[in-house]
Structure 1
């Protein structure tokens, strides 16, 4: 801990800091161009080992709990709700898949500020903040990869159409 504060102030700062980081990162990611999420960036690819999302279902039983996760659009009143498909046409599926990339990116970035909490928290609490960041964001990342894997299995032959969406 670099800064020494009373416990009640540490708790208040932790809550405010996480709120700030979550909202700021979400707002920044919402401003990123949609076309960027249509591209086939390496980190967003559905890899063969994921078996079109089946890996995530087998490891984490995603279908049993994914409906319990709140969609960030209820807080920001912007963005694309991923609670369900907005249609079944190829364009609808590609938009949904792109928005799962945006959500995954948002939640990956939301883990990064966790080490900053060591500045004003005791070491044990800093580790709790890192654990919080992982426990809060990792399930959402898993759901996005699960959903995108399922969609990519359906849309794998529709790559030419994505250029018309930009």
Structure 2
């Protein structure tokens, strides 16, 4: 199979612009949604039985080994300067805000995946497979991290409620 370098370069540039565009659009959409939507009680963000209070992520996906290596894009692009890289306070309001931000970040990554099929319009079949793989590889870990952190912070809130 011969690859036309000019077409490859054009597709590469177009796909890069597409990914950046849908990422930005997804982030903007998620910031226009009112914060009350981002609740752990919302069926979209509720803990699933198979998550076993985060143990699935620890025992099967070994999340503790890799989660800190994933960059935090929300802070980098300054759409939402709330840093989700580290827990900076044990204050109840801060933890609740952190939970909201994990929901928001999860939805951003879900929307990016949902918008991805629009790349079928301009990509050849091989490009579709490459884009699908990249889309999953780059967004699924972020979704997993948000779900894992939310479970941990909800447990933390529950513990501090009984301590006081």
* TM-score bracket for the superposition, by shorter chain length: 0.7 to 0.9
Mapping of 1:1-166 within 5 angstroms? 6-38=7-39, 40-79=41-80, 80-156=82-158
Q: 4+ runs of 1 displaced by more than 3 Å?
A: 156-159
Q: Distance in 1 between matches of 2:83 and 2:90?
A: 15
Give the TM-score of the pair, scaled to structure 2: 0.86
How far the C-alpha of 1:155 sits from its partner, in A, is 2.3
How far the C-alpha of 1:113 sits from its partner, in A, is 1.9
How far the C-alpha of 1:149 sits from its partner, in A, is 1.0
Q: Distance in 2 between matches of 1:74 and 1:39?
A: 22
**Which moved further from structure 2: 138-147 or 115-124?**
115-124
Q: Distance in 1 between matches of 2:87 and 2:152?
A: 12
State the match for 1:164 in structure 2: none
Aligned length: 155
> CA distance change for structure 1 residues 64 and 129 in 2, over 3 Å: closer, same or farther?
same
Give the TM-score of the pair, scaled to structure 1: 0.85
Higher RCO (C-alpha 8 Å, min separation 6): 1
Q: Distance in 2 between matches of 1:32 and 1:99?
A: 12
Q: Give 5+ residue unaligned stretches, structure 2.
A: 1-5
How far the C-alpha of 1:82 sits from its partner, in A, is 0.4
